[in-house]
Amino acid sequence: MLGERTMPGTRWFPGATLNYAQHCFGTSEDADTVAVVAYSQTRSPVQLTFAELAEQVRRVREGLRGLGVKSGDRVVGYLPNCPEALIAFLATASLGAIWASCAPEFGPHSVVDRFAQIEPSVMFAVAGYTYGDKQIDRRGEVAEIGAQIPSLRHIVHVPYGPHNLPAAVAWDDLTAPTPEPLEFVPVPFDHPLYVLFSSGTTGRAKAIVHGHGGILLEHLKNLALHWDLGPGDRLLWFTTTAWMMWNSLVSALLVRASLVMIDGNPLYPDLLQQWRLAEQTGATLMGASPSFLMACRKAELRPAQQFDLSRLRQIGVAGSPFPAEGYRWVAEQFGEAVLLNVGSGGTDVCTGLVQASPLLPVWVGEMSGPSLGVDIKAFDEHGRVVVGELGELVITSPMPSMPVGLWGDADGSRLRESYFSQYPGAFRFGDWCRFSAAGTCVITGRSDATLNRGGVRLGTAEFYRVLQDVAEVADSVVVHLEDPSGGPGELLLFVVPQPGVTVDDALRHKLSTQIRTALSPRHVPDRIVGVQAIPYSRTGKKLEVPVKRILSGADPDAVASPGALVDPGALDAFVDYYRLQAKA
């Protein structure tokens, strides 16, 4: 099974060949089973059986062959979460070609920054889409992307909304009838399946390569055992094609579950929309972000009473730390019949590292334990395992879905620097965590955003858990600026007040008191500053590290790619704060 166990350099199943896509269509018994149900604000719902999906993939595969695509070539998608994205991906994989995708809300600079690294020959793209009640035109963006990637030979227009790409290859032409069968090129276990990109919020996005075999094994394990999915189940989880969750969700086909695809504004027309879709589709697993569930709690929604969610067996939560109050709210709404699976993983392994299981209890505010087959620990700064205290999250044995490599990193030096330089032989994931003696886990935030206060490390999630229940606060970000001379540094809390609220001395006193009471005197910020917005990446992550770098004097243009942010203007307040302090 393991030809080479050393990390980095692990070799799984040397000499074996396979193709991920071949395992996504079931048998003749599955032909009439629904594979995909797609809901969009751009068009009417779409439903495909496994047989219909296979037929569409067969045609697109032949269309790509006609465009000259072969094994090892790169094909990319500037696409929403729609069936055509899935079809294009599976057709690409069937040829042994390599897939990558970006969501169409990404700007040209961010897309080119990602796609140009891998030199694609074909790009699937939409000319626009609908977000809530807004029509979004992307024709100019597609043209700019095409002009800036010299390797692109063809752009395929996926019809989606009223606009067109007249110079592109038409989807109907690409999917013209063909007598050629659906075949799958056998490739080595570690042959690249797709490239996922890091957030790009702290520099150029890393192009992380994942292989056919590793993803197949990892996703079969995760979806069948942790997520408890199989034939007859329906998986609903809002995502975009820019997040690794999209790649995980499409693997529902591996276990013959039906995939529910959602595109558009997930909160339109209101906060109830995702629960409505869960009822309409008969979802058995519904995934959600912590911010969505906490917003439902704050709005005092009662989804289990307002909708028929009797088929729901599991609620998945991922993307950022989930407060203990959120656990309690889900338990109050759904009781013991629905498993709350709070997990944490990431793009680097395209799966969960710690999460719940149908066989383990759920502890309030904690993840139940390591995922199956994941040898995960918390290390102190000397590489010693720690229990009951905060440490670096590391993986100490090989996992099938660890990156095959980083694109363009022929000698592996960037891979080693990114994951193995701090603890040789162990994969440093970049999260700050605490494991209990019982094996449960709490993720407190990214380790590069962890606050070092007088030699004591504090997780940012601890602050957010306190502040999320303060009525006057809409959002917040906390950073610690180290003192180069060895002093205590400065702990800064930036808060977005609720409408009509001012960040005055009274509110500052209230926040300091609550933080001191709930956490400790060491956690009390040196300054509390009001801002209009907190910067987020397009995958929903608070940009703690870029904010810290700006406040430390870094060039704002160098710390984050504007196209990777939901609102690039949200960084302006931190630039202004730094300049004001520099003058003082």
Q: Which helix (H) or strand (E) holds 293?
A: helix 290-298
The whole-number pLDDT of residue 420 equals 96
- Which residues are within 8 A (CB) of 335 and not within 5 positions of it... i.e. 6 or more apart? none
Cα 19 to Cα 16: distance, rounded to the nearest angstrom: 10
Where do the domains of the chain lie?
1-258, 453-583
- Which residues are within 8 A (CB) of 202 and not within 5 positions of it... i.e. 6 or more apart? 448, 545, 546, 549, 559, 560
CATH of range 453-583; options 3.30.300.30, 2.60.40.1260, 3.40.190.10, 3.40.50.300: 3.30.300.30
Instruction: Give, rounded to a whole angstrom, the gap between the first and last alpha carbons of the chain.
Output: 62
- Give strand ranges (E) for 204-348: 207-211, 234-237, 258-263, 285-288, 314-317, 339-342, 344-346
DSSP conformation letters of 140-177 = HHHHHHHHH-TT--EEEE---SS---TTSEEHHHHT--
Q: Which helix (H) or strand (E) holds 84?
A: helix 83-94
Cα 271 to Cα 99: distance, rounded to the nearest angstrom: 33
CATH of range 1-258; options 3.40.50.150, 3.40.50.12780, 3.40.50.1820, 3.20.20.120: 3.40.50.12780
The whole-number pLDDT of residue 228 equals 97
Cα 143 to Cα 149: distance, rounded to the nearest angstrom: 10
Across 126-135, b (16+ Cβ under 10 Å) vs e yields bbbbbbeeee
- Looking at residue 41, the DSSP 8-state letter turns out to be S
Q: Where are the alpha helices (DSSP H) in 211-289?
A: 212-221, 244-249, 273-281
In DSSP terms, 98 is beta-bridged to 74
In DSSP terms, 479 is beta-bridged to 492
The whole-number pLDDT of residue 454 equals 61
Q: Nearest-CA neighbor of 108 among 121, 83, 125? A: 125
The whole-number pLDDT of residue 63 equals 98
Give, for all 584 residues of the chain, the pLDDT tens digit: 788 889 999 999 999 999 999 999 989 999 999 999 999 999 999 999 999 999 999 999 999 999 999 999 999 999 999 999 999 999 999 999 999 999 999 889 889 999 999 999 999 999 999 999 999 999 999 999 999 999 999 999 999 999 999 999 999 999 999 999 999 999 999 999 999 998 765 567 899 999 999 999 999 999 999 999 999 999 999 999 999 999 999 999 999 999 999 999 999 999 999 999 999 999 999 999 988 999 999 999 999 999 999 999 999 999 878 889 999 999 999 999 999 999 999 999 999 999 999 999 999 999 999 999 999 999 999 999 999 998 999 999 999 999 999 999 999 999 999 999 999 999 999 898 999 999 999 998 777 776 766 666 677 888 898 898 899 999 999 999 887 666 678 999 999 999 999 999 999 999 999 998 888 787 899 999 999 999 998 777 888 989 998 998 988 887 777 777 889 899 999 999 999 988 87
Cis geometry, peptide bond prior to residue 269 (ω within 30 degrees of 0): yes
The first and second tokens of residue 316, run together, are 């998945």
The whole-number pLDDT of residue 230 equals 98
Q: Nearest-CA neighbor of 544 among 580, 514, 571? A: 571
- Looking at residue 205, the DSSP 8-state letter turns out to be P
Crossing angle (nearest 10°) for helices 572-583 and 544-551:
30
pTM of the complete model: 0.86
Cα 316 to Cα 173: distance, rounded to the nearest angstrom: 39
